[in-house]
Amino acid sequence: MSIQKTLSLIKPDAVAKNVTGSINAKLEQAGLRIIAQKRLRLTKEQAEEFYKVHSDKAFYRSLCEFMSSGPIIAQVLCGEDAVAKNRQTMGATNPMNAEIGTIRRDFGESIEHNAVHGSDSPENAAIEIAFFFSSLEIIE
């Protein structure tokens, strides 16, 4: 266990539903601190770059259309074991399989429109944080 940072995105479906505050409350209740946060809209090209590890998947085109369809909230979360803690707080990729009380269970619509993104390792977290934030924007 160690203090980590991780990237969180509140996806266009959850921003459209106006539940960003409820999602932030769940993150904070889990012991995660939001140390950077901004609202932005990805271009399709930026979404394709961010999700390029999935470029061979059948859902890639649809995912990139969705992620560029409206504003998102990008956040840096900090805390003890933040990468795994955020993944637990998010719940399973498919909201139907996510545990009760998780963000995806409460706010996700479908396996694609599943409310939030979270980095899956400390290495990917560093890459993903740098995609959205400069070091000047992250105050610990």
Catalytic residues: 117
- Name which position in 19, 114, 128, 132 contacts ligand ADP (CB under 6 A): 114
106 interacts with, out of Mg ion, ligand ADP, none, CB within 5 to 8 A per kind: none
Q: Which is nearer to Mg ion, 6 or 68 (CB)?
A: 6
Structure token pair of residue 26: 């769940």
The answer to whether 24 touches 34, Cβ cutoff 8 Å, is: yes
Place of tokens 């409206």: 70
Helical axes 82-90 vs 122-132, angle rounded to 10°: 80
Tokens of 80: 């003890």
Q: Which stretch binds Mg ion (CB under 5 A): 10-18, 73-81, 96-104, 118-126?
A: 118-126
Give me the residues that bind ligand ADP (CB under 6 A), please.
54, 59, 63, 93, 111-112, 114, 117, 120
